[in-house]
Every structure is written in C-alpha cells, then in structure tokens.
Structure 1
Amino acid sequence: MTAITFYISNTKNELIKLKRTFAFWLAVISGIMIPLLFFIVYLVKYEKLIPAEGVSPWNKFMLDQIRNSIPFLVPMFIVLITSLIIQVEHKATGIKHLFALPIPKWSVYYSKLFVVLSSIIASYIYFFIAILIFGSLLGVLRPELNFLEFQPEYFKYIKMLSLSFVASLGIVGLQFWLSFRFKNFIVPLAVGMIMVIIGLIASRAPEAIYFPYAYNILSISQGSNGPQTFGVSTVLVYSVVFFLITSVAGYLDIRRLNVK
C-alpha cells in the first residue's frame, strides 16, 4: 500500500469510529444548542422582538447568535471535542495498538487530525442550518416577526463563520497535540479552558494578535478592520501559521514518543 492509501484507509476507519462516540453527538448538540435557545426566546418574547417596518429580522437573529457563540463557546467546544476524540483511543489503549501496526505513524496522527477538523466543520454547518430552520419555523409560528417576508444574507454569514473556523485552527493544532501527548484527559482539557479564559481577558490588548485562543474573538470584533498581512487578516494568517507549526511539531513529538 502507498502512503496515501494508508492515510485514506485510516481516515475512513476514524470516521466510522467517530459515529460510535459521544464526540459525534457533541458536534450535533453544540451546533443546534444556541439556535434552539434563541428560537425559544423569540417564540416566548416575540412581542418585544418584532422588527421595525421594512427591517429584516434575520440580521439581528443571525448576528446575535454568531456573536454569542464564537468568542467563548467555539473555543470551548474545540477544546472539549479534541480531548474527547483522542481520549477514546487513550482509554482503550487504541493509540498503542495503532502505533504497533505496520503503518506510517504520520497517517495515524493526521487522519485523527482530519477527523477533528471534520467534526468542527460539521458543527459549524449544523449551526448555520439550525439557524435557518428555526428562523423559518418562527416565521410560521410567529408571522408578526416577518421572517418569511425577507431572505437572510446567506453569503455574509457563511463568510463570518468561515473566518471563525480559520481563526480556530491555531487552537486546534495545539489542543490536538496536547490531547495526543497526555493520556490524562484532564491535562489538555484544563490547559485549554484556562487558555480560553485568558484569551477572553486578553482579547482587547494589542498583544492578543499573538495569542491563538483570542483569535475567534478578534475575527468577530475586528472583522475586515483589523491589521492586514499580504492583504489578508493578520489574525487568520497567524492562525494558519500556528496550526501548521503545531501540527508538524506535534507529529514530530509523537513520532519519537514511546506510547505505553
């Protein structure tokens, strides 16, 4: 088998295993939780949320959910789901078994990283679709809110969520390395939670541009008005660079590690 064949085969196996874990349902639940809460609030308190004449209710409905989710909940979700996916292997000594097989270690490491990224992307998709479904349902149940009278700005909010995902990559790379490196589930989880809180506190400081756990907040608060590197948001550039560095460093560390 070629190296690429090993990688594809490992990735398929990892995706199949993911369906049998809580991490799979966490991605689904996390994606629909905030839209469901907003749906309930709008359903109950609709009289206070009726928009002005000619104003689309979608803008407030979608923007409020994105702004409430991305700064804190998205980083926490990444920390939790990354730790859960790798912990399943640690708990069942699966990593030791995988590394004992005659397959390249890089295919094991990067196929799992692909699964983590896929889970995060899936949660973003669930989130966006849930917003549209619940908004349309509100248009049926509460026609006074005028959801059916307007079309949401799909591409505007898809762009915001896409930028948020790219801004999350720096966290993914580091958390994945920590989760793979430590058998104890608490270590990467505790480190991640502390870093997310620090990111929230430090996000207003100029130095936050060098701290990956603040990038989600910066991607929303700065938007296109933040510093640019080669015509692209510096936050996104740094996030991708940090992801690449930690992904390679993590693999090099795991490759020489004697997994017990």
Structure 2
Amino acid sequence: MSAITFYISNTKNELIKLKRTFAFWLTIISALIIPLLFFIVYAVKHAKLAPGAGVNPWDKYMLNQVKNSIPFFVPIFIVLITSLIIQVEHKATGIKHLFALPIPKWSVYFGKLSIVLFSIISTYVYFFVAILFFGTLLGVFYSDLAFLDFQPDYLKYIKMLGVSFIASLGIVGIQFWLSFRFKNFIVPLSVGMVFVILGLIAFQAPESIYFPYSYNILSISLGDQMPQTFGISSVTVYSILCFILTSVLGYLDVKRLNIK
C-alpha cells in the first residue's frame, strides 16, 4: 500500500470517528450561535433596524456578524475543537493503538490534522450559510428590513472568511501539536485560552504581527492596511509559515515519543 493510500484510508477513518463525537456537533453549534443571536435581535427590533431607502441591509448585517465572531470566537473554537478531537483518542488510548499499527506514523498525525482543518472549514461554511439563511428568513417575516430587495456581496464576505481561516492556521498548528503532545486535556486547553486572551490584549502592539493568536483580529481590524510581505498580507504569510513549521516539528516531536 502506497503512502498516499495510507493517508487517505486513515483520514476516512478519522472522519467516520468524528461523526460519533461531540466535536462534530460543536462545529454546527458554534456556526449557528452568532447568526441565531442576530436573527433574534433583528426580529425583536426590526422597526429600529430597518435600513433607509436604497440602503442594502446585508452590508451591515453580515459585516457586524463577521466582526463579532472572528476576533474572539474563532480562536476559542479552534482551541476547543482541536483539544476535543485529540482528547477522544487519548482517553481511549486510541493514539497508542494507532501508533502500534503497521502504518506510517505520519499518516496518523497528518490524517488527524486534516480532520481538524476539515472541521474548521466546515464551521466557516455553516456560519456563512447560516447568515444567509437567517437573513433571508428575516426578509420573509419582516418586509421593512428589505433583505429580499437586495443581494448580499457574496465574494466580499467569502474573501473575509477565507482570510480569517488562513490567519487561523498558525493557531491550528500550535494547538494540534500541544493536544497531541499532552495527554491531559487541560494543558492544551489552558495554554490556548491564555494565548487567545493575550492575543486580544496585544493586537494593537506592532509586535503582534509575530503572535499567531492575534492574527484573526488583525485580519479584521487592519483589512487592506495590513503590512505586506513579498506583496502578500503579512498575517497570511506568517500564519502559513507558522502552520507548516509547527506541523512538521509537532510530527517529529510526537514521532519520537513513547506514547503510553
């Protein structure tokens, strides 16, 4: 069996296992929280939130949801989902069993990393769809909100969410390494939460461009004014480099461990 076949087979197995865990439901619940809250607020205060004549209500509606979710909730979600997915294996000594099988260890490590990335991407998709769904629902029930009279700028917000996802990769690499490295669920969770808070506090400092846990809020707050590296957003470049580095180092570290 080729290396790629091992990887694909292992990833499929991980996907099947994911459906039986709370982590699967967390991806859906997390995506619905903000859109549902905005739906309730708009439904209760629709008279006050009705846009002026000729104003596209989707702009304010979608932008506020993105700005209220990405800086704080996305990093916390990544910390939680990564810790939960790996903790299932630690708790059932599944990692020890997987590493004892006659399959490449890298297929185990990167197969699970792929599932974490898949879960995060799924949550972004669910979030975007939920925003559109609840906005359309508001337009059906409350014509004064004018949601059915205009079209949202799909590409603008897909781009914003895409930039946010790339800005999250650095956190993913770090948290995945920690979650795989430490059997105790509290260690990666605590470290992640502390770093998320530090990222929110430090994002206004120029040095925050080197701190992955600040990248999500920087991607939103700076927007087109983001410093450039090789003509590309610095957050994008540094986040990808951090992800690649921590993923490789994490695998090399875990590979040499005697996982008990």
Task: Provide the TM-score with structure 1 as the length reference.
Answer: 1.00
- Output one character per residue of 1:192-217: Cα deviation in whole Å (capped at 9) or x when no partner: 00000000000000000000000000
Name 1:103's counterpart in structure 2: 103
Equivalent residue runs for 1:1-260 within 5 Å: 1-260=1-260
- Output one character per residue of 1:124-149: Cα deviation in whole Å (capped at 9) or x when no partner: 00000000000000000111000000
CA distance in 1, matches of 2:33, 2:222: 26
**Structure 2 counterpart of 1:29, which letter?**
I
- Output one character per residue of 1:69-114: Cα deviation in whole Å (capped at 9) or x when no partner: 0000000000000000000000000000000000000000000000
CA distance in 1, matches of 2:222, 2:233: 9
CA distance in 2, matches of 1:238, 1:55: 38
- Output one character per residue of 1:175-204: Cα deviation in whole Å (capped at 9) or x when no partner: 000000000000000000000000000000
Specify the SS of the correspondent of 1:257: coil
Percent identical pairs in the alignment equals 74
Q: How many residues align?
A: 260
**Structure 1 counterpart of 2:13, which letter?**
N
CA distance in 1, matches of 2:226, 2:80: 29
**Structure 2 counterpart of 1:164, which letter?**
S
- Output one character per residue of 1:159-189: Cα deviation in whole Å (capped at 9) or x when no partner: 0000000000000000000000000000000
CA distance in 2, matches of 1:220, 1:33: 20
Q: Which runs of 5+ in 2 are unaligned?
A: none
CA distance in 2, matches of 1:49, 1:194: 36
Q: Tell me the CA shift for residue 8 of structure 1.
A: 0.4
**Structure 2 counterpart of 1:67, which letter?**
K
CA distance in 2, matches of 1:115, 1:33: 22
**Structure 2 counterpart of 1:123, which letter?**
T
Q: Tell me the CA shift for residue 33 of structure 1.
A: 1.0
Q: Tell me the CA shift for residue 231 of structure 1.
A: 1.1
Q: Which runs of 5+ in 1 are unaligned?
A: none
Task: Provide the TM-score with structure 2 as the length reference.
Answer: 1.00
Specify the SS of the correspondent of 1:53: coil
Q: Mean alpha-carbon deviation: is it higher for 224-233 or for 103-112? A: 224-233
Q: Tell me the CA shift for residue 48 of structure 1.
A: 1.1
What is the aligned-residue RMSD (CA, Å)? 0.4
Q: Where do 4+ consecutive residues of structure 1 move more than 6 Å?
A: none
CA distance in 2, matches of 1:209, 1:181: 26
Q: Tell me the CA shift for residue 224 of structure 1.
A: 1.5
**Structure 1 counterpart of 2:68, which letter?**
N
Specify the SS of the correspondent of 1:175: helix
